Amino acid sequence: KDAKTTERRATLRTIANEIFDFAEISQRSLGRHWQTRTLPEREEFVTLFGDLLERTYISKIESYSGERVAYAGEMVDGDQATVRTQITTKQGTEVPVDYRMFQRDGRWRVFDVNIEGVSLVGNYRTQFNAIITRSSYQDLVTKLKAKQDEGAGSKDTRRRRVQSP
């Protein structure tokens, strides 16, 4: 990986952290299991899961190959909103992507992404609940750490997450 790639990824990471609320996504994805976690466990989970989501987001951006993204409207209800987009692939397939957002401290942040009717948070919540129920919370953390190690082939994909106040 060259310096340009490292710089581009750092920029994408900054943008991802401005758009997505990884702590909120983590809490919603863990569902009822969030309440039983200690503060250090929650912080570790946000770091591990946020890192996975961030790397997934960056890889999607890097694999962009000419798809068209069109704004398709929004619905605002108080401090929550859904922004609808339509992605058109090079083959002409249309894929609806909705971003569920909330406003906090004057900023809108994404807390869920819905692709073709499938919620990112709901999907992860189902997977995480199955792992915790079948095995343990610690097993889930072990699996997330393994994913982090897989994706940490180079230093520029890893970084410390700063918890927002």
Q: Which are the contacts of 51, defined by CB distance < 8 A and separation ≥ 6?
A: 148, 151, 158, 161
157 compared with 99, residue with greater pLDDT: 99
Per-residue pLDDT tens digits for 9-59? 889 889 888 999 999 999 999 999 999 999 999 999 999 999 999 988 888
Measured between alpha carbons, how far is 65 from 86 in angstroms, rounded to an integer? 16
Task: Name the superfamily (CATH) of residues 3-157.
Answer: Tgt2/MlaC (3.10.450.710)
Would the pTM count as exceeding 0.95? no
Q: What is the pLDDT of residue 1?
A: 59
Query: Following CA atoms 135, 32, 59, 96 in sequence, which dihedral angle do they give, to the nearest 10 degrees?
Result: 120
Q: What is the pLDDT of residue 61?
A: 84
What the block records as the tokens of 73 is: 């409207």
What type of residue is 154? Answer: S
**CA dist list (Å): 2 to 9, 141, 147, 156:** 11, 31, 23, 10
Average pLDDT, rounded, for the chain? 89
Q: What is the pLDDT of residue 130?
A: 98
The pLDDT of residue 165 is above 80: no
Per-residue pLDDT tens digits for 125-149? 999 999 999 999 999 999 999 988 8
The pLDDT of residue 76 is above 80: yes
